[in-house]
Amino acid sequence: MNKLELIERIKASQISENRKQEILGLLVNNDLNQDVKDQIKDIIQADIDSDTSIPLTPEDKTKIEAITAQTSQELSAVEEGLNQDMKFVEKELTDLEDLVNNLDKLADEADIDSIRKTI
């Protein structure tokens, strides 16, 4: 797309008038280099982000609230599952440490018994 085609597309777009003028000013006063393209992209994104011409309906708000509540419940369930898994892992580690300690004690006792038998 060349500079003239881009100017025509901007003029025909639904971008707000002040942002159109800003973009057209960039295009008229500069070469179409990567920096100018990036600036135009940022202006268009800002226009998209600021578009409040279509307000949310009560139905939209209700849907958003329902999805937010459902997501929150799902995250809570995942968090609870992770907490239970962590408790299980902690118990298994504690049991393993106890087993190692008991084996160490048995090994020590066996060494003591072996020493006693040689004396």
Read off the pLDDT of residues 29-48 as tens digits, 9 standing for 90 and up. 888 888 888 999 999 988 88
pTM of the predicted model over 0.85: no
The vertex-16 CA angle with 14 and 17, nearest 5°, equals: 110
Q: Are 20 and 11 in contact (CB under 8 A)?
A: yes
Identify the residue with better confidence: 63 or 56.
63
Closest CA to 43 of 54, 58, 60, 27: 27
* Residues in contact with 35: Cβ distance below 8 Å, sequence separation at least 6, in sequence order: none
Q: Does residue 37 sit in the same domain as residue 63? A: no
Q: Does residue 119 sit in the same domain as residue 66? A: yes
Would you call 79 exposed, middle or buried from its count of C-beta atoms within 10 A (0-12, 13-18, 19+)?
A: exposed
Q: Does residue 25 sit in the same domain as residue 63? A: no
Domain holding 43, by residue range, is 3-49
pLDDT digits (tens, 9 = 90+) for 78-114: 899 999 999 999 999 999 999 999 999 999 888 888 8
Q: Is pLDDT at 59 greater than 80 in this prediction?
A: yes
